[in-house]
């Protein structure tokens, strides 16, 4: 149980119950979008075409709505989730330490190309989490990027996003 592990003493960020309710509400919103768009497309039988384009998704949306409402009601009335911790502060900081750089990395992909971005990302990750020297990180990052480059661009001829550096070398 996560309850025993990171509940109790550690600083709580958000309770499981709050997350349950939030996710159920998001799912309900998704169900609403699906149903609304299905109705726009037409859920009825058409003379020649058969079932309309919204026919199948409509029922999927209804099922999704029903199940998220049940989950929502259960979470709302079940107070036991209030005490349990969805994620503790230090744990969440660790997750963010991966997620935020990942988002920056993905944003950088299309600008400086995947190979340079990957090498930098791997180097920083190794330095921050593994305590490696920046030099060692850069060496391993560059090696991984280079092998990816050889495999995708040279051998299998699959083009990946490239930036000014690759362009400089004529790719």
Partner 1 sequence: MEELSALWGGFIVVLNPFNLALMIVGILLGVVIGVLPGLGGANGVAILLPLTFSMPPTSAIIMLSCIYWGALFGGAITSILFNIPGEPWSVATTFDGHPMAQQGKADEALTAAFTSSFVGALVAVIVITFLAPVVAKFALKFGPAELFAVQFLTFASFIGMGKGSPFKTLASMTLGFALASVGLDTVTGQLRMTFGTAELLTGFKFLTAVIGLFGIGEILASMETGLSFAGTHARLRLNAVIETWKKLPAYWATSIRSCIIGCWMGITPGGATPASFMSYGIAKRFSKNGERFGKGELEGVVAPETAAHAAGTSALLPMLTLGIPGSPTAAVLLGGLLIWGLQPGPLLFVEQKDFVWGLIASMYLGNLAGLVIVLTCVPLFAAILRIPFSIVAPAILVICAVGAYTVNNAMFDVWMMVMFGIVGYVFNKLGYPLPPLVLALVLGDMAESSFRQSMLLSQGSLTIFWSNELVGGIMTLGALLLSWPVIAWVLDKFREAKPA
Least Å from the CB of residue 27 to partner 1: 6
**Nearer Cβ to partner 1 (112/160):** 160
Angle at 25 between CA 19 and CA 27, to 5 degrees: 105
Identify which of residues 19 and 112 has a Cβ nearer to partner 1 in the complex: 19
State the alpha helices, DSSP H only, in the chain: 2-6, 16-41, 55-77, 80-83, 89-112, 114-130, 134-149, 164-168
Kindly tell me which of 61 and 166 has the beta carbon lying closer to partner 1: 61
**Strand-strand pairing, 50-51 and 45-46:** antiparallel
Residue 118 or 166: which CB sits closer to partner 1?
118
* CA 23/CA 26 separation, integer angstroms: 5
Distance in Å, CB of 166 to partner 1, minimum:
15
Shortest distance, position 170 Cβ to partner 1, whole Å: 21
For the bound state, the minimum distance from the C-beta of residue 169 to partner 1, rounded and expressed in Å, comes to 19
């Amino acid at each position: 149980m996560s309850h025993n592990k990171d509940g109790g003493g550690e600083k709580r960020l958000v309770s499981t119950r709050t997350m349950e309710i939030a996710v159920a509400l998001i799912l309900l919103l998704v169900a609403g979008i699906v149903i609304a768009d299905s109705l726009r497309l037409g859920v009825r039988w058409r003379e020649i075409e058969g079932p309309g384009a919204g026919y199948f998704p409509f029922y999927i949306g209804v099922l999704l709505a029903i199940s998220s409402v049940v989950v929502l009601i259960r979470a709302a009335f079940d107070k036991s989730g209030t005490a349990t911790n969805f994620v503790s502060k230090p744990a969440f900081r660790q997750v963010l330490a991966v997620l935020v750089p990942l988002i920056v990395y993905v944003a950088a992909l299309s600008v400086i190309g995947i190979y340079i971005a990957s090498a930098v990302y791997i180097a920083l990750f190794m330095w921050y989490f593994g305590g490696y020297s920046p030099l060692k990180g850069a060496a391993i990052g560059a090696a991984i990027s280079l092998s990816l480059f050889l495999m995708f661009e040279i051998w299998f001829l699959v083009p990946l996003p490239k930036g000014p550096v690759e362009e400089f070398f004529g790719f």
